[in-house]
Chains A and B, each alone.
Chain A
Amino acid sequence: MTDQEIQETEIDVLEFSQRGAEVPHAKVYRVRIDGEPFRFEDSSPTGEMVLARVGKRPCAFELIEEFTHRENCVVEPDEKVDLRKHGLKGFITAHKEIVTIFLNGEPYQIERGERSIADILGKAGQTAQGYILLEEKDGPPLPLPDNRPVEIDGCEVFHSQARSGASS
């Protein structure tokens, strides 16, 4: 039997790391993400795929590999992780401080927390005087009041539109 051949049907990655043993090829790898077990059939998913298993996205969350005998390591969204890597205990996720939002389809980096309409429009070089900001959240894009801050958690989808209305 060669190393590439499947030796186990389903293995628990944490058990192997605790024993200090090499992880064999298997049909299914059981991996913990934030302490909860998930089953993977692919031994080299991308960081984004791992995050997706816990309903999270790289625009708001970071994925971190945890090892038994070495420091944790951040995994980039498009980076492939090796679930058979020696000492891998599993993954944890962390809410990013600098998150990604989408404005008119373009991604922009912004600090998490309360941000003004002007802060958000400014990412696209637009001003609150000339534009309205609309947020697409659980429905169609709706204007956001410009006298209230917007809570940014990451992954928000915004649109801007030149102002067209005025009180008369």
Chain B
Amino acid sequence: MERPQDQIEDLKRYCAKLTALTEGGVTFFHLEGLRLPAGCTPQTCDALLCPVEREGYPSRLYFSVQVTSPYTRNWNVSNARIGEKNWFAFSWKVALSAPTLIEILIGHLEGFAKEK
């Protein structure tokens, strides 16, 4: 699904470098040096945003490491191989109708800041 350029520009504010990665017919957004919410360790890491349905979730945000956050999360994906790199993801569902890329990203980052 094509995303408007302004949505892509908004994503760039959150990371050091943004690129697109297509694999298995899915376009991921590769966010290098994504800024993470306060209280997270590390404070930045690489991430991969899948804005479409995957693994039973409406969208997914993968991280290059298992992030330590103010709330403990259920990391139910470990070492998923995408774009020749290993990725981690926690169980978090972002339920929005027709969300923008930023809304999806913030919705996933919310997982580090809310208990449930």
Q: Which of A145, A166, A168 contacts B112 (CB under 8 A)? A: A145
Shortest C-beta distance, A129 to chain B (Å), equals 10
Interface residues of A in 120-135 (CB under 8 A from B): 132, 134-135
Give the residues in chain B near A165, CB-CB below 8 Å.
92-95, 107-108, 110-111, 114
Question: Given A164-B96, A167-B92, are A139 and B113 also a contact pair (CB < 8 Å)?
Answer: no
Task: Check A76 for interface membership: any CB of B closer than 8 A.
Answer: no
CB distance B111 to A167 under 8 Å? Answer: yes
Give the residues in chain B near A144, CB-CB below 8 Å.
37-38, 113
Shortest C-beta distance, A19 to chain B (Å), equals 53
Interface bracket on B: 20 to 34
Task: Check A147 for interface membership: any CB of B closer than 8 A.
Answer: yes
CB distance A164 to B94 under 8 Å? Answer: yes
- Interface code B57-71, partner A: CB below 8 Å = 1, 0 otherwise? 100000000000111
Task: Check A20 for interface membership: any CB of B closer than 8 A.
Answer: no
Question: Given A166-B95, A167-B91, are A145 and B113 also a contact pair (CB < 8 Å)?
Answer: yes
Task: Check A146 for interface membership: any CB of B closer than 8 A.
Answer: yes
CB distance A145 to B38 under 8 Å? Answer: yes
CB distance B13 to A139 under 8 Å? Answer: yes
Closest Cβ neighbor of B76 among chain A residues: A168
- Interface code A153-168, partner B: CB below 8 Å = 1, 0 otherwise? 0000000010111111
- Interface code B31-45, partner A: CB below 8 Å = 1, 0 otherwise? 000011111000000
Interface size counted on chain A using CB atoms at 8 A: 20
Question: Given A148-B38, A163-B114, are A134 and B106 also a contact pair (CB < 8 Å)?
Answer: yes
Task: Check A113 for interface membership: any CB of B closer than 8 A.
Answer: no
Give the residues in chain A near B93, CB-CB below 8 Å.
165-168
Closest Cβ neighbor of B114 among chain A residues: A146
Task: Give the complex CA separation of A145 and B112 in angstroms.
Answer: 7
Shortest C-beta distance, B104 to chain A (Å), equals 9
Give the residues in chain A near B13, CB-CB below 8 Å.
139-140
CB distance A145 to B71 under 8 Å? Answer: yes
Task: Give the complex CA separation of A141 and B103 in angstroms.
Answer: 12
